[in-house]
């Protein structure tokens, strides 16, 4: 989103060189992080909590958007004990 990119630009203007942020499946669904790549993405868990009319229509859609973090990260840390790890 424009607000996110403005905040990131302000951080750079203030000499910041690193940023840690939570990136939700909704951020990918709504294209709020479009064009960003990450040095490291961390995928801790997934559960059917976010299925519904105001979030994701299906679990498959939710899982797809969660996995986009991995596609947009140079390195990925994944919790191998979570459901759906395979």
The predicted-structure confidence for 21-67, as pLDDT tens digits, reads as follows: 999 899 999 999 999 999 999 988 777 787 888 888 998 998 899 88
| Domain membership flag for residue 62 | yes
Domain range holding 35?
Answer: 19-78
Is residue 83, in this structure, part of any structural domain at all? no
Query: Does the residue 63 lie in any domain?
Result: yes
* pLDDT for residue 55: 87
CA distances (Å), origin 44, targets 19, 23, 40, 75, 77? 19, 12, 13, 14, 8
Is 30 contained in some domain?
yes
In a domain, 39, yes or no: yes
How much is the pTM?
Answer: 0.78
Is 44 part of any domain?
A: yes
In a domain, 4, yes or no: no
- Categorize the per-residue pLDDT at 86 as very low, low, confident or very high, splitting at 50, 70 and 90: low
Tally of structural domains, the chain: 1
Kindly provide the b/e burial profile for residues 50-67, where b requires at least 16 CB atoms within 10 angstroms of the residue's own CB.
beeeeebeeeeebeebbb
Inside any domain, residue 54: yes
Structure tokens at 17: 């060189």
pLDDT (tens digit per residue) in 60-71: 998 899 889 999
């Amino acid at each position: 989103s424009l607000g996110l990119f403005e905040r990131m630009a302000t951080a750079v203007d203030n000499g910041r060189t690193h940023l840690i942020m939570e990136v939700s499946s909704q951020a990918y669904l709504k294209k709020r992080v479009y064009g960003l790549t990450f040095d490291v993405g961390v995928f801790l868990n997934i559960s059917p909590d976010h299925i519904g009319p105001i979030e994701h229509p299906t679990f498959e859609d939710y899982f797809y958007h969660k996995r986009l973090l991995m596609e947009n990260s140079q390195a990925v840390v994944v919790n191998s004990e979570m459901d759906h790890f395979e």
